[in-house]
Amino acid sequence: MEKLISIIVPVYNIEAYLPRCVDSILAQTYPQLEIILVDDGSTDDSANICDSYAKKDGRIKVVHKKNGGLSDARNAGMNLVSGEYIGFVDGDDWIDEDMYRAMYEACERENAQVAVCRYKQIKTSGQGGKAGMIDSSAGNSVLLSKTRALEAYVCADEKYVIYNSVWSKLFLADLVKEMRFPVGKNSEDIMFTTKAFCKMERLVYLDVPYYNYVLDREGSIMNEKAGQRRLQDEIPFWKEQIAYIAEAGMPELSDKAAYHFYRRMLFYYIEFMENKDTREFAKEIIRQLKIEKENIRRIHRKDYAAIGDKMRMKLVLASPIAYYHAVKLYDKYVIPLRSRA
């Protein structure tokens, strides 16, 4: 007998997108669904849209609550799930019709606690690039151990592209039903995914982009105040991830997570330097890197530390502005030459 999948959909002022999202869930070829629409205090017609769908299909439950943010809405949904698996779909996105059947059958077949798929990036003005479509093996599934999956996740492995997002995953309910998202924070998926991966034994990876992620919706959390989000939410979560993996008894993997965190910090620095309004954030990136200088040196003595990363870090710590100009010159002259080669 097919098992019930609970799907949590947070909803806040997305009346123009919500019908497409809910219709895509109702159109799933896997019918054993419990669809929990959490109206997070919407002030447009989203709440009425939720209620109208609940009248049409008995699989839909609606929760109306005071606005508390994405994490709070997801938590409200988590409090109501009764399925043996749990999935998440953001209300401004949509999914392909075979997504949950493919993920469910892969978990059951491989006795895995988590399934992961790829996603397509969608621009509101039209479809953008297909993120994650790196190789030509679409349609295959691969079983990964906890250690291998965690390494692919924290090291941004191009072979198994595993994102932070919970919406690209199907979780066994017993694995995550006691977990909750940190309220009042953005980038909340980082630690939810990390904790789930540390608890699981096996993950099945599907190299098919079943999920359609709307990249540039006006008013989206991800498009607002990027600098503050990076400093107040993302960076603290990355640091928490490093510590959590170490506490879970995987110190070498924790060091790899730190290595990739420091690489990410260099990208943040360049991003902030590009806009005069965020250059104070760039200074904060450098300040934090200098505080961690000794740990960076320790990590860079590891065999996996690339020479280029060591050189870039030495330069940015010695002269941040020189590093910035070096990157700009590289982008202006070297990359075009390489593209013509």
> What would the pLDDT profile of 153-200 be if each residue is shown by its tens digit?
999 998 898 999 999 999 999 999 999 999 988 889 999 999 999 999
Tell me, what's the pLDDT at 139?
Answer: 64
Task: Assign a CATH topology to domain 5-221.
Answer: Spore Coat Polysaccharide Biosynthesis Protein SpsA; Chain A (3.90.550)
Question: Is the per-residue pLDDT at 313 higher than 90?
Answer: yes
pLDDT, tens digit, for every residue of 286-304?
999 999 999 999 999 999 9
pLDDT for residue 331: 86
Per-domain boundaries in the chain? 5-221, 225-340
Q: 253-288, pLDDT tens digit by residue?
A: 999 999 999 999 999 999 999 999 999 999 999 999
**Displacement of CA 208 from its chain's centroid (Å):** 16
Question: Percent of the chain having pLDDT more than 90?
Answer: 82
Q: How far apart are CA 161 and CA 296, in angstroms?
A: 25
Give the residue from 20, 30, 257, 17 showing the smallest Cα distance to 7: 30
Q: 198-210 as b/e, with b when 16 or more CB fall inside 10 Å? A: bbbebbbbbbbbb
pTM, two decimals, is 0.90
To the nearest 10°, report the CA torsion of 259, 262, 268, 274: -110
Confidence of residue 216 (pLDDT cuts 50, 70, 90): low
For residue 250, which phi and psi values (nearest 5 degrees)?
-125, 70
Integer Cα distance of 275 and 271 in angstroms: 8
Nearest to 10 by CA among 45, 52, 39: 39
Mean per-residue pLDDT over the chain, rounded: 91
Joined tokens for residue 204: 């099945």
The pLDDT assigned to 215 comes to 81
